[in-house]
């Protein structure tokens, strides 16, 4: 085992016994939501995974240790510290670990640490991707590169709708990452069920998702598989409302010179403000929805 990796006893026992485990990121705790909703949501997501037959493994960097499975006290710690915790992508891991510092893991680093621990299924809200205006800014999330090389199923509600969804799909196609629509032929756009862009394949059951990933492993193909699971209809936000909020948030970000790793937290917070908190409620519900599907898919994978 990697000398910098700590796997919680519960997760370690589940992996040893061949029981389903689902990885969860910690950026959503420290950077995605305000306190105390961040901690409450993280614990609800863990319970949802348990209720659907799997063991949750919230992933983070605490005191320089790569943690696969956090305690409720550690989740509370990350939630209270909030944005004082470094948002940790691939480039940050060696320095944070060497300094024995804390880090909230993005999709990228959650995939990396999950793979180190032997966890194959990961539930998140939305992945990063190609940002709007990337033709001039070159702002492209490391999540896409990680999906191209790390063998983990990522279950999300699509790419975050603050992104250029068309270019994000093109990038994933270039990298050979299969984009699966769960019970949909259309790429969901995080807060909304529709984007106008198609997916590579539609799959309608957790068993078929697990089978496709199992064959990918058996073929020796590197990289992950992206499963896009639409937000439940009753929580989906009207596209015109969310798009207007995103455009205004983007305008303010440019005006204030927001860039780099601060971009996504700024935009999500601004969209929440502009929608009167509706986007936060939607965010919570889509994460719970993804957790349910991830637990069922992990269980199906264990049966293969």
Q: Which residues have a catalytic role annotated?
A: 25, 160
Burial grade of 206 (CB within 10 A; 0-12, 13-18, 19 or more): buried
Structure tokens given for 157: 């509600």
Cα–Cα nearest to 222, from 150, 154, 155: 150
- Rounded Cα distance between 150 and 223, Å, is 4
Burial grade of 239 (CB within 10 A; 0-12, 13-18, 19 or more): middle
Backbone angles phi, psi at 158, to 5 degrees: 95, -175
Burial grade of 225 (CB within 10 A; 0-12, 13-18, 19 or more): buried
Kindly list the distances between the CA atom of residue 133 and the CA atoms of 5, 130, 259, in Å, as whole numbers in the listed order.
37, 9, 12
Burial grade of 7 (CB within 10 A; 0-12, 13-18, 19 or more): buried
Q: Are 54 and 123 in contact (CB under 8 A)?
A: no
- Rounded Cα distance between 154 and 54, Å, is 16
């Amino acid at each position: 085992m990697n000398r910098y990796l700590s796997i919680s006893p519960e997760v370690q026992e589940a992996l040893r016994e061949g029981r389903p485990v689902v990885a969860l990121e910690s950026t959503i705790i420290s950077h995605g939501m305000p306190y105390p909703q961040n901690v409450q949501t993280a614990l609800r997501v863990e319970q949802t995974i348990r209720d659907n037959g799997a063991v949750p493994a919230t992933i983070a960097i605490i005191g320089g240790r790569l943690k696969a499975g956090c305690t409720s006290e550690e989740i509370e710690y990350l939630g209270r510290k909030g944005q004082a915790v470094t948002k940790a992508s691939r480039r940050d891991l060696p320095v944070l670990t060497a300094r024995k510092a804390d880090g909230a893991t993005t999709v990228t680093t959650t995939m990396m640490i999950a793979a180190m621990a032997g966890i194959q299924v990961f539930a998140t809200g939305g992945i990063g991707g190609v940002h709007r205006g990337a033709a001039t800014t070159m702002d492209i999330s490391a999540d896409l590169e990680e999906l191209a090389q790390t063998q983990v199923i990522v279950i999300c509600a699509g790419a975050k709708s603050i992104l250029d969804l068309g270019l994000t799909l093109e990038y994933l196609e270039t990298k050979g990452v299969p984009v699966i629509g769960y019970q949909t032929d259309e790429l969901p756009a995080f807060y909304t069920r529709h984007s106008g862009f198609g997916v590579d394949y539609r799959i309608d059951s957790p068993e078929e998702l697990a089978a496709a990933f199992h064959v990918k492993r058996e073929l020796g193909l590197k990289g992950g598989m992206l499963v896009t699971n639409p937000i439940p209809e009753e929580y989906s936000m009207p596209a015109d409302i969310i798009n207007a909020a995103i455009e205004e948030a983007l305008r303010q970000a440019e005006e204030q010179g927001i860039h780099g790793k601060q971009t996504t937290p700024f935009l999500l917070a601004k969209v929440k403000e502009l929608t009167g908190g509706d986007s936060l409620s939607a965010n919570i519900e889509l994460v719970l929805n993804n957790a349910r599907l991830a637990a069922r898919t992990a269980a199906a994978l264990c049966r293969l």
